[in-house]
Amino acid sequence: MPTRPHPFDPDMTRMRAVFREQREAHGQTFDELCRQSGLARQTLVNLSAGRYVGDLRTWAILARTWDLSLDELLAPIWD
């Protein structure tokens, strides 16, 4: 695993895993998550594949969709 340049930098490579773990934990297909969140299906597919890390708006919407705080959702990127 690549080292982070600063100890307070989040491990952005974990974003893909965070997305996949939550989607699976909530038993959602991409289409279901698309309908529930209002996010584009392609955005969700790209998050899952690691081609896109998303922006604050995207993650805030996902946190609300999954009934989590943004801190709870993104805690794994600080491990």
User: pLDDT tens, 2-34?
Assistant: 565 677 889 888 999 999 999 999 999 999 999
CATH C-level class of 12-72: mainly alpha
Q: pLDDT tens digits, residue range 54-79?
A: 999 999 999 999 999 999 999 999 87
Domain boundaries, the chain: 12-72
Q: Scanning the structure block, which residue is given the tokens 């594949």?
A: 49
> Quick one: which of 79, 78, 75, 73 has its CA closest to 37?
73
d(CA 40, CA 17): 19
Q: Count CB-CB contacts under 10 A for residue 4.
A: 12
Q: What is the pTM of this model?
A: 0.87
Three-state secondary-structure class, residue 4: coil
